Amino acid sequence: MLFEADQRGKSPIAVLEDRKTRGDAGANPYTAELVIGVVEHLTRIDALLLESSVDWSVERMPAVDRAVLRLAIYELLWSSAVPDAVAIDEAVELSKALSTDESPGFVNGVLGRVVVLKRDLDLSESEPS
């Protein structure tokens, strides 16, 4: 849904609501939690993404990689449902299946840097409205 929203120029929440309206089984409560979580923390996620990716702007990243990384960073920092190693592995596997040949290494490297930064982050501060 994050990728679809990016490609269609729509809000991820609007894509989620469209899918719920159509009765899409993919619009389940856990998926909704992830999409909403990414949207709520997007400014912080993109700042960490920029800080953790060497010589890549967020806009320059392949759209699939950007969506996968945003989701994984949300899981790493704000979701206790998935252990860090599992979130990284799932992100790498998604990038292998859906993106470029270079993407798995890129995704793994970026998320590895986020995990290193994680212990020093103050995640309690509120997001800008």
> H-helix or E-strand containing 15?
helix 12-21
Q: In 3D, which of 98, 128, 120 has the Cα closest to residue 52?
A: 120
Give me 14's structure tokens: 């609007």
Q: In 3D, which of 51, 60, 68 has the Cα closest to residue 114?
A: 51
**CA dist., res. 99 & res. 37, Å (int):** 23
Domains along the chain? 2-118 (1.10.940.10)
Residue 127 is predicted with a pLDDT of 53
**CA dist., res. 19 & res. 2, Å (int):** 12
Residue 78 is predicted with a pLDDT of 95
Per-residue confidence in pLDDT tens, the chain, 129 aa = 999 999 999 999 999 999 999 998 888 999 999 999 999 999 999 999 999 988 788 888 999 999 999 999 999 999 988 999 999 999 999 999 999 999 999 999 999 999 999 988 877 755 544
Whole-prediction pTM: 0.90
**CA dist., res. 107 & res. 94, Å (int):** 10
**CA dist., res. 46 & res. 116, Å (int):** 16
Half-sphere CA count of 15, side-chain side, radius 13 A: 18
Residue 57 is predicted with a pLDDT of 84
